[in-house]
């Protein structure tokens, strides 16, 4: 009977548990449904609010407790800014004093008050620290009240800026009229503008100088805008301090564009001007470096013969790059030896040090250097490991969820707003809320916030939060797979390696789905709308306009096809196609006409554009990381870097694959040996040189 009673009690207990779990599940489903309903209502109300007026209020009747409710009225007020009055804006600011929409509304309304020249309301609402334009508007308000300017109090910080918004023009004119802009002050700002390359500021300042000095100032503007014209005009300039500065500037800038023309001009102008040693060194350095980027016949000799005082890290670096292009291995060693010790320790120069030693038959020395580089998790570390047929270095830490800390994170109002903004498709304000909410957070809070963001598909938070120090070891979060966006099947359908496509995506956008470049490339794989339309047409895919590229699934579908199209122009080569994806196929073909005989590692090292060199290195490195994420090991980097002219054939999976392991310290006892990389919370990452 006792056992029967226990059995009945157990069944009752299990029934209670099951009932509780069912109730919890029903409650969770109800909460999810309610939240989804609120998000849908918010989107509808926000669209109405963005058109101004009060029609949004009826649509937002059930949203009073929704975290994003304050964004609705702010959107309406922003639309109606030219009609809204100060009491209405101040009422909103009092209700939501610490919210980002409030700071935006204050800033934008102040700009509107300045446009109206309503200086009374402007002064009443102004707060310092809202940017240079409003700082100058505040000074205009001061002038409107007949107050005088004080240079040190009112203008000194603005004066140090190399360029200022147009709102500052009336203030600067008033300062000049008051006699505050002395020639010494004007020239100090011109010098700062020249250093920053701001020709328009130089021209603007020239109007307040004497005619002779104004002409000299305009020489600087000409040197910045049209150095070829400046070096021609310099033949008539007087040999004085300012003219020498302008002439040297023009020569340096011309060297970047047309090194041969700069050479000729230098031969002429150095006879006319008594350049200082520093100016001569600057010109000689520029001529040597930019002849090197053109790989001219005497480029190496120029770099070797530069006076020691004219050498810089760039000239020393290009000395090695030119030697690599010539396969002059002794010159490679000599060039690296001429670098300061800190520069020599860069993994790139360690790798090429080993490469040169090996080519010169000093195999044992080369293998020792390769071994030290191969301990690094980087593009050059993995190249070095391939020379040794060694595993790749990767010290990965898997962050564990901490429910208690996560509850505390979710209790932060700004984080709740950030997550909701992301959920309703407003990633830009979501990032602002995130940054403000976690500005002073400790590492554990940020870690758990990133885990929560990752669970919600907000992958760029890990990329931007874990970008230095020990946090570089959080590889699973920093290199997400995001299977819901379909990259793997889309890459397979396009006929390209998914790991490579992931690498391109990670470098292009860092997982920001709304990324937009200055050239209007959009979305995860940074496609131009024109390219997206062409790829869609060529592949028979639907095209719904440029904004559709912000949809991750659409962007990936079109991006993988475009990447396959680019690869097809270079025998399928991932590394050459990566260079073309960044710099353009025409530019890559131009480089190939002169250096197609080089092996891939040397060709990449001799790409003239720093951005493209580093881009290709990152893509190749990230491709290995993503191969490991997908398969637990990776195809050797060398298999992706086929020689120029050889067709790339992807073998999946290739027979020879590399394990990615965390190398033990050089000296370690059993007690201090690191825990397994997959679970260790204390492992320190190796150098991630192109993280």
For 314-363, what is each residue's pLDDT tens digit? 999 999 999 999 999 999 999 999 999 999 999 999 999 999 999 999 99
For 461-507, what is each residue's pLDDT tens digit? 999 999 999 999 999 999 999 988 899 999 999 999 999 999 999 99
* pLDDT of residue 683 exceeding 90: no
> Could you tell me where the DSSP H helices lie in 360-426?
363-374, 379-388, 403-410, 413-423
Distance from C-alpha of 78 to C-alpha of 74, rounded to nearest angstrom = 6
Residues facing residue 661 across a β-bridge: 393
Q: What is the pLDDT of residue 673?
A: 34
Cβ atoms of 51 and 81 within 8 Å: the answer is no
* pLDDT of residue 691 exceeding 90: no
Give the residue-averaged pLDDT of 445-474.
Answer: 96
Distances (CA, A) of 20 to 9, 16, 23, 34: 16, 6, 5, 21
Q: Supply 524's token pair.
A: 């995860």
**Quick one: how far is CA 13 from the chain centroid?**
57
The rounded percent of the chain whose pLDDT value lies above 90 is 89
Q: What is the pLDDT of residue 32?
A: 80
Q: What is the largest CA-CA distance in the chain?
A: 117
- Cα distance between the two ends of the chain: 68
Q: Which of 63-77, 560-574, 590-604, 652-666 has the lowest mean pLDDT?
A: 652-666
For 648-665, what is each residue's pLDDT tens digit? 987 665 678 999 999 976
Tell me the pLDDT band of 31, cut-offs 50, 70 and 90.
confident
Q: What is the pLDDT of residue 483?
A: 87
For 90-104, what is each residue's pLDDT tens digit? 999 999 999 999 999
* pLDDT of residue 586 exceeding 60: yes
* pLDDT of residue 178 exceeding 80: yes
Hey, how many other C-beta atoms are within 10 angstroms of the C-beta on 174? 17
Q: Which of 28-37, 107-116, 120-129 has the lowest mean pLDDT?
A: 28-37
Distance from C-alpha of 438 to C-alpha of 539, rounded to nearest angstrom = 44
* pLDDT of residue 18 exceeding 60: no
For 594-647, what is each residue's pLDDT tens digit? 999 999 999 999 999 999 999 999 999 999 999 999 999 999 999 999 999 999
Residues facing residue 660 across a β-bridge: 392
For 245-300, what is each residue's pLDDT tens digit? 999 999 999 999 999 999 999 999 999 999 999 999 999 999 999 999 999 999 99
Q: What is the CA radius of gyration of the chain?
A: 31
Distances (CA, A) of 242 to 229, 268, 279, 299, 511: 17, 18, 12, 31, 48
Q: What is the pLDDT of residue 24?
A: 45
Give the residue-averaged pLDDT of 397-413.
Answer: 96
Task: Kindly report the pTM of this predicted structure.
Answer: 0.89
φ and ψ at residue 660, rounded to 5 degrees: -110, 115
Helix, coil or strand: residue 652: coil
Q: What is the pLDDT of residue 139?
A: 97
Computed over every residue of the chain, the mean pLDDT equals 91
pLDDT higher for 500 or 3?
Answer: 500
Q: Supply 271's token pair.
A: 């006879």
Q: What is the pLDDT of residue 69?
A: 98
Tell me the pLDDT band of 29, cut-offs 50, 70 and 90.
low
Cβ atoms of 684 and 470 within 8 Å: the answer is yes
Q: Dihedral sign for Cα 104, 106, 109, 115, please.
A: negative
Q: Supply 27's token pair.
A: 């409650």
Please report where in the chains the tokens 């044992």 appear, as a residue: 364
């Amino acid at each position: 009977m006792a056992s029967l009673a226990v059995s009945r009690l157990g069944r009752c207990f299990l029934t209670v548990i099951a009932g509780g779990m069912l109730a919890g599940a029903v409650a969770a489903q109800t909460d999810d449904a309610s939240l989804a309903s609120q998000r849908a209502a918010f989107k509808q109300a926000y669209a109405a609010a963005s058109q101004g007026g009060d029609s949004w209020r009826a649509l937002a009747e059930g949203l009073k407790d929704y975290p994003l409710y304050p964004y609705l009225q702010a959107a309406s007020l922003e639309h109606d800014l030219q009609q809204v009055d100060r009491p209405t804006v101040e009422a909103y600011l009092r209700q939501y004093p610490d919210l980002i929409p409030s700071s935006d509304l204050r800033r934008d309304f102040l700009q509107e008050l300045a446009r109206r020249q309503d200086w009374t309301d402007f002064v009443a609402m102004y707060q310092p620290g809202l940017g240079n334009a409003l700082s100058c508007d505040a000074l205009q308000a001061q002038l409107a009240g007949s107050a005088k300017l004080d240079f040190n109090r009112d203008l000194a910080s603005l004066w140090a800026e190399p360029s200022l918004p147009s709102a500052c023009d009336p203030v600067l004119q008033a300062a000049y009229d008051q006699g505050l802009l002395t020639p010494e002050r004007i020239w100090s700002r011109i010098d700062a503008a020249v250093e920053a390359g701001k020709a328009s500021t130089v021209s603007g300042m020239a109007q307040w100088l004497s005619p002779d000095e104004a002409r000299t100032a305009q020489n600087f503007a000409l040197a910045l805008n049209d150095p070829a014209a400046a070096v021609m005009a310099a033949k008539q300039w007087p040999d004085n301090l300012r003219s020498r500065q302008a002439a040297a500037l023009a020569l340096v800038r011309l060297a970047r564009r047309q090194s041969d023309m700069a050479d000729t001009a230098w031969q002429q102008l150095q006879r006319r001007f008594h350049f200082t040693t520093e100016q001569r060194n600057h010109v000689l350095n520029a001529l040597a470096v930019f002849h090197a980027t053109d790989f001219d016949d005497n480029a190496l000799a120029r770099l070797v013969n530069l006076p020691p005082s004219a050498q810089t890290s760039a000239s020393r670096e290009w000395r090695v790059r030119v030697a690599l292009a010539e396969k002059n291995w002794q010159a490679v060693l000599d060039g690296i030896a001429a670098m300061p010790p800190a520069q020599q320790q860069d993994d790139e120069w360690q790798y090429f040090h080993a490469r040169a030693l090996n080519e010169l038959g000093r195999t044992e020395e080369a293998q020792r250097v390769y071994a030290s580089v191969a301990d690094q998790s980087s593009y050059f570390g993995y190249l070095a490991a391939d020379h040794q047929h060694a595993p790749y270095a990767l010290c990965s830490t898997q962050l564990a969820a901490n429910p208690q800390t996560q509850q505390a994170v979710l209790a932060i109002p700004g984080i709740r707003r950030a997550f909701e903004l992301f959920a309703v498709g407003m990633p830009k304000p979501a990032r602002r809320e995130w940054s403000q909410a976690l500005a002073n957070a400790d590492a554990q809070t940020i870690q758990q916030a990133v885990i929560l963001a990752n669970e919600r598909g907000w992958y760029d938070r890990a990329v931007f939060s874990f970008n230095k120090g020990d946090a570089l070891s959080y590889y699973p979060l920093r290199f997400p797979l995001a299977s819901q966006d379909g990259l793997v099947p889309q890459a397979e359908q396009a006929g390209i390696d998914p790991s490579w496509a992931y690498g391109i995506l990670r470098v292009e956008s860092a997982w920001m789905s709304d990324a937009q470049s200055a050239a209007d490339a959009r979305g995860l794989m940074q496609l131009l709308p024109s390219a997206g339309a062409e790829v869609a047409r060529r592949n028979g895919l639907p095209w719904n306009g440029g904004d559709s590229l912000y949809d991750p699934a659409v962007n990936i579908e079109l991006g993988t096809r475009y990447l396959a199209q680019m690869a097809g122009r270079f025998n399928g080569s991932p590394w050459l196609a990566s260079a073309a994806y960044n710099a353009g196929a025409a530019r890559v073909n131009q480089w190939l006409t002169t250096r197609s005989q080089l092996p891939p590692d040397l060709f990449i090292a001799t790409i003239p554009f720093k951005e493209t060199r580093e881009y290709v290195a990152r893509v190749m490195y990230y491709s290995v990381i993503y191969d490991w994420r997908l398969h637990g090991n990776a195809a050797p980097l060398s298999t992706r870097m086929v020689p120029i002219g050889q067709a790339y054939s992807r073998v999946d999976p290739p027979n020879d694959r590399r394990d990615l392991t965390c190398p033990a310290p050089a000296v370690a006892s059993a007690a201090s040996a690191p825990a397994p990389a997959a679970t260790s919370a204390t492992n320190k990452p190796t150098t991630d040189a192109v993280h």
